[in-house]
Amino acid sequence: MNGIVPVWTSCRFMLIALAIAFALPPGAQAEPLAKNLFGHKKLPAAIAPKAHGFYSKGCLAGGIAIAADGDHWQAMRLSRNRRWGHPRLITLLERLSREAAQDGWPGLMVGDISQPRGGPMLTGHASHQIGLDADIWLRPMPKKRLSRKERETVSAISVLKKNSLYVDDRVWTRAHAAVLKRAASYAEVERILVHPGIKKKLCDTVKGDRGWLRKIRPFWGHHYHFHVRIGCPPGSTGCKRQARTAAGDGCDKSLAWWFTEEPWRPAKGPKRPKRRDVMKLSQLPKACRAVLKAAGPVSANAVTLGYNGALTAAKAKAGVFSQVMSLDVPVPRPRPVN
Ligand SMILES: [Zn+2]
C-alpha cells in the first residue's frame, strides 16, 4: 500500500507535463531561451562588426575583446567573459584609459561590456546586449597588476555615504569628475549612467563648461561603477537608436525627482520575471540567428585589442580586425597576468 502513493504521484506529474506540452503551440516548447544560446558562446562571430537591435534586445556581430591588461586599464571579473564589444566601443575605451590618465585618473578598472556575441545574459544587466555599453568601476586603478584571482574578488567602491543618496566627500575626488567629463567629451558617447547622487554632485560643483552634463544621466544603482553607452555605429543599419537626451544640463526638476520617495518605493503587485529571463531568439532581430551560427575567429587573442600588439587600436579603427581574424597564425601563449 505504501508504494502505491509515490507511484501514483509521479504518474500524475508526468500526465500534467504531457498535457502542458500538447497544449502549447507547435514548436513553442522547443524554442530555447536566448540567454542560454548567447550566454554559452565563448568566441565572437567572425563576420563584419554590426550591432543588431536595441541595447536591451539584440546581439553583436564581429565583436572584439579588450585585453586583460593595458598601460592604463585592468579588466575585472575575467571569468565572466564579458570583455567583448563593437570595435568602436573597445577602441574608445582604450582611448579613454589613455586620456583620462592625463587628467589624473590612474586607469580604468573595466567591468562588464558584452558577451562575445552580445545577446541577453544569464545573469545581471538588462542592456549590454549589442556591444555598445561598458561598465567602468568608480574605483581608481591600483598601481599593482591584480592577479586573476584578485580580479574575481576585489570589490568596486561605492562613492555614496552609507544609506544615503549623496556622495561621500571622503571618497569622491576631482579625478572622478575628470574621468566622467572625459568620457562624455567623445562624440560617440551618447549617455553615461550614474547614480542620482553623482549627477547632483556634478551639478553642484562643475564650473565653466557644463554642456557635457547633458550626457550624464541619473539612474538606479551605478554608484560602484558608471556605464558608458555609445550610439549606433555607422554601418549598423539594424541598430535601433535611443531617443536623444533632452537639451540642457539636466540639473533641474528631472533630477529633483530622484530625491523624492517615488523612485525608491517598492513596486506593487506580483513580481514579473525579468525580460532577459524569458526572451526567446525569435524576439530578437532576425540577423541574430546568423550571428549565433557564424564561425568564430581562430582564437580570442587574434581579436583582442591590446594583446601583445595582435590588434592595435589603429588597426581596429581601420577595420583591419576582420583580416586579423582570418589569419591562420599560431596562437601565442597567454601572457601571465602578474
Ligand atoms: Zn552597465
Question: pLDDT at position 20, please?
Answer: 47
Cα separation of 248 and 119, whole Å? 33
Confidence check: pLDDT of 113 > 70: yes
Cα separation of 161 and 40, whole Å? 38
Question: pLDDT, tens digit, for every residue of 148-203?
Answer: 999 999 999 999 999 999 999 999 999 999 999 999 999 999 999 999 999 999 99
Question: pLDDT at position 312, please?
Answer: 75
- Please, where are the H alpha helices in the chain? 4-23, 34-39, 87-102, 148-153, 174-185, 196-205, 253-256, 275-278, 287-293, 313-317, 321-326
Asked whether the beta carbons of 94 and 313 are under 8 A apart, the reply is yes
Asked whether the beta carbons of 147 and 79 are under 8 A apart, the reply is no
Phi-psi region of 206 (alpha: psi -120 to 50; beta: other; left: phi over 0): beta
Question: pLDDT at position 334, please?
Answer: 42
Q: How far is the CA of 126 from the centre of ligand 1 (A)?
A: 9
Q: What is the band of 124 on the pLDDT scale with cuts at 50, 70, 90?
A: confident
Which helix (H) or strand (E) element contains residue 137? strand 133-137
Average pLDDT over residues 135-144: 97
Q: How far is the CA of 125 from the centre of ligand 1 (A)?
A: 7
Protein residues within 5 Å, CB atom, of ion ligand 1: 135, 227
- Please, where are the H alpha helices in 59-195? 87-102, 148-153, 174-185
Q: How far is the CA of 128 from the centre of ligand 1 (A)?
A: 7
Cα separation of 224 and 176, whole Å? 12
C-alpha cell read off for 28 = 513553442
Q: What is the band of 12 on the pLDDT scale with cuts at 50, 70, 90?
A: low
Asked whether the beta carbons of 215 and 245 are under 8 A apart, the reply is yes
Question: pLDDT, tens digit, for every residue of 38-57?
Answer: 999 999 999 999 999 999 99
Q: What is the band of 262 on the pLDDT scale with cuts at 50, 70, 90?
A: very high
Asked whether the beta carbons of 59 and 43 are under 8 A apart, the reply is no
Q: How far is the CA of 227 from the centre of ligand 1 (A)?
A: 5
Confidence check: pLDDT of 58 > 90: yes
Q: Is 111 helix (H, G, I), strand (E, B) or coil?
A: coil
Q: How far is the CA of 219 from the centre of ligand 1 (A)?
A: 11
Residues 42-260+274-326, CATH architecture: 2-Layer Sandwich (3.30)
Q: How far is the CA of 89 from the centre of ligand 1 (A)?
A: 13
Q: How far is the CA of 41 from the centre of ligand 1 (A)?
A: 20
Confidence check: pLDDT of 5 > 70: no
Q: How far is the CA of 137 from the centre of ligand 1 (A)?
A: 10
Per-domain residue ranges of the chain? 42-260+274-326
Q: Return the CA Rg of the chain.
A: 23
Question: Are β-strands 57-61 and 50-54 bridged in parallel, bridged antiparallel, or unpaired?
Answer: antiparallel
Question: pLDDT, tens digit, for every residue of 283-329?
Answer: 999 999 999 999 999 999 989 998 765 677 777 766 665 544 443 33
Confidence check: pLDDT of 255 > 80: yes
Q: How far is the CA of 192 from the centre of ligand 1 (A)?
A: 9
Cα separation of 325 and 159, whole Å? 40
Confidence check: pLDDT of 8 > 60: no
Q: Measure the N-to-C terminal CA separation of the chain; round to a whole number of Å.
A: 66
Encode 90-104: b = buried (16+ Cβ within 10 Å), e = exposed. bbbbbebbbbbbeee
Q: How far is the CA of 120 from the centre of ligand 1 (A)?
A: 13
Average pLDDT over residues 244-257: 95
Average of per-residue pLDDT values in the chain = 88
Asked whether the beta carbons of 122 and 37 are under 8 A apart, the reply is no
Q: How far is the CA of 124 from the centre of ligand 1 (A)?
A: 9
Q: How far is the CA of 59 from the centre of ligand 1 (A)?
A: 16
Q: Is 336 helix (H, G, I), strand (E, B) or coil?
A: coil
Confidence check: pLDDT of 77 > 70: yes
pTM: 0.85
Q: How far is the CA of 308 from the centre of ligand 1 (A)?
A: 28
Q: How far is the CA of 127 from the centre of ligand 1 (A)?
A: 7
Q: How far is the CA of 112 from the centre of ligand 1 (A)?
A: 7
Q: How far is the CA of 17 from the centre of ligand 1 (A)?
A: 38
The 10 Å Cβ neighbour count of residue 111 is: 21
Question: pLDDT, tens digit, for every residue of 19-43?
Answer: 444 454 554 457 899 999 999 999 9
C-alpha cell read off for 105 = 585618473
Question: pLDDT at position 310, please?
Answer: 63
Q: How far is the CA of 218 from the centre of ligand 1 (A)?
A: 13
- Could you say which DSSP state residue 50 is in? E
Comparing 120-124, 207-211, 266-270, which segment has the lowest mean pLDDT? 266-270
Q: Does the CA dihedral 102-103-104-107 come out positive or negative?
A: negative
Q: What is the band of 267 on the pLDDT scale with cuts at 50, 70, 90?
A: confident
